[in-house]
Amino acid sequence: MRVLGLNGWPGRGHDASACLVEDGRLIALAEEERFTRRKHAYGAAPVHAAAFCLDRAGITLDDVDAVAFGWDVPLLYRDRGIPYPFTDRTALELLLPARELPRRRDPQLVFVPHHVAHAASVFHLSGDKRAAILVVDGQGERESTSLAVGERGKISVIDSFPPAWSLGYFYDAVGRYIGLGPDQAGKTMGLAAYGRTGDASFGSFAMESDFAVAHLPADLMSRRNIDDSEEVIDGWLAHLERTCPLPPNTLRRRWDSRTARFSSVPDRDPFDYADIAATAQAAIEHLVSGFVDSVVRLTGEETLHVAGGVALNATLNGRLLHHPALRRVFVQPLAGDAGVALGAALHLCAEAGHPGAPMGAHLAWGPEFSPGAVRDVVTASGLRFDEPGDLPSAVADLIADGRTVGWFQGRAEAGPRALGQRSILADPGARETRDRLNLRIKRREWWRPLAPSVTSEEAPEHLETPVPLPYMVTTVPLRPEARARFEAVDHVDGTTRAQTVEAAEQPLYHELLRRVGERSGASLLLNTSFNGNEEPLVNSPADALSAYARLGLDALAIGPFLLRKR
């Protein structure tokens, strides 16, 4: 059974994506932003991503049995009292225009409830026969948090909470309040480590121990059935203004001469709001821990699967690793809405008797380019390059000399983290490296944490964790000697969002780490995403060359070729 999974409705939503699943096995997955170069692909259909997936498999839509969409769109219309205006044919034409994706027939179109798609994305790729499942995000059709159980290839939702109770919207409101702007949860999380925790209830924000009664700010409590994100966020902003010690940090549009464009600049330094960020982080951790207690009690399971946008909070995930009621935690690395395309497709396959295979220790399901194709693009650029006989050794030498290197290899990884396919790499030893990457290359806040990649064999020497961490979605403590040795990847609280790399899954990247270890004594590198500020990760050789030129990198390893700035 071939299923094309989609997320991204024209004019609505974010993180448009597409994947192709065959009999429960993932063939290809890509995010629309990587092709259009518009971060999060707001309001876009996944046309380019879908075309890539079909091309990767060498098929057309005529060869697809069903298209699975990760939202119940007709229900969204009905709940708002609006007649659903599409037939399956017109909806497919909206999502997959025939001029871009020609076909002789339309495949079946199936709408999968949003939180079911999130749950399926983690359960059907986990390899576990049974698990408690927690989905926490902004909202689905009618819910913002869902408690579920997966068993015998099926997912059953046990309980859910309405959008007014959205932890995703709460955290987004905090990011806006402190001057980081919308959709900046990762920044809020990074800033939180610098602050001191205050009243985590923000004056009125708690749950009863049995999770039967929710205590919300009064203006949200009186409108618990609202399902509009801006209404909920505005309610939180008003409440934060009443309860926080600092006024809202307003963003204003100003001309940035460095980038020759307008940008949003806060009235005050967001760092002044670190205590508010820390308090919000503590609130999220406390409330999600309570949800975990509840779903474990309701299901009797000691294995937990987590998905939804809030599950991209790596600090929260690090806390869940040590939850006393759990023996195993599996966080879907595509926890955001890009992952519901995958979940929707897996759900249809599972319903047809084709359960998913366990997820490998990588996310490299996107486009790749042959050495010939890379050579053509590099040659056309006019830049000088060579082809080292031993690329890992050549790059390791550059890093040992303090150089910052772009790394473009193999299939593009999915998700928000660079995992050794589209990365910027540097020596993790000096704090000055972090400052250079944040301020000069990424052009972002100095306090943003950076993360390491380390071979799985050597990880226990440097990280205080007994489990592999292939996806960079969990923070763990660095060992004391590692904190002193790797200052560029040591966050202020002593944690790091590490990636462990296995030779069987990523042989070239693992070999690079090993060669780095031969020179430095530690098979560990600073690894950050290969992109500029507010840009998607590079996707193609042309993207990589453009970023290499703009970002001030010292070298670029692209396929078998190496470019160096003299």
Convert the pLDDT of each residue in 198-242 to its tens digit.
988 888 777 655 554 456 777 676 555 556 788 899 999 999 999
CATH code of the region 128-331: 3.30.420.40
Whether this model's pTM surpasses 0.85: yes
Class of domain 2-115+341-351: alpha beta
Token pair for 23: 């009999």
One fold for 128-331 and 371-564: no
The domains of the chain are located at 2-115+341-351, 128-331, 371-564
Instruction: Say if CB 525 and CB 450 are below 8 A apart.
Output: no
State yes or no: pLDDT of 293 exceeds 60.
yes
Sort strands 499-501 and 451-455 into parallel, antiparallel or unpaired: parallel
Q: State the CATH architecture for 371-564.
A: Alpha-Beta Complex (3.90)
DSSP-assigned states of every residue in 496-523: E--EEE-TTT-HHHHHHHHHHHHHHSS-
Residue 168: alpha-carbon gap to chain centroid: 14
| Integer Cα distance of 510 and 458 in angstroms | 11
Look at residue 217 in the predicted model and tell me its pLDDT.
Answer: 76
Which residues are CB-contacts of 548 (< 8 A; sequence separation ≥ 6)? 406, 556, 563
Instruction: Say if CB 219 and CB 212 are below 8 A apart.
Output: no
Token pair for 386: 């060579």
Look at residue 205 in the predicted model and tell me its pLDDT.
Answer: 74
User: Bridge-partner residues for 132, per DSSP?
Assistant: 149, 304
The rounded mean pLDDT for the chain is 95
What φ, ψ does residue 396 adopt, rounded to 5°? -60, -35
100-109 average pLDDT score: 97
Q: Looking at the annotation, which residues are catalytic?
A: 14
Closest CA to 412 of 14, 48, 10, 143: 48
State yes or no: pLDDT of 540 exceeds 90.
yes
Query: Which one-letter amino acid corresponds to residue 41?
Result: A
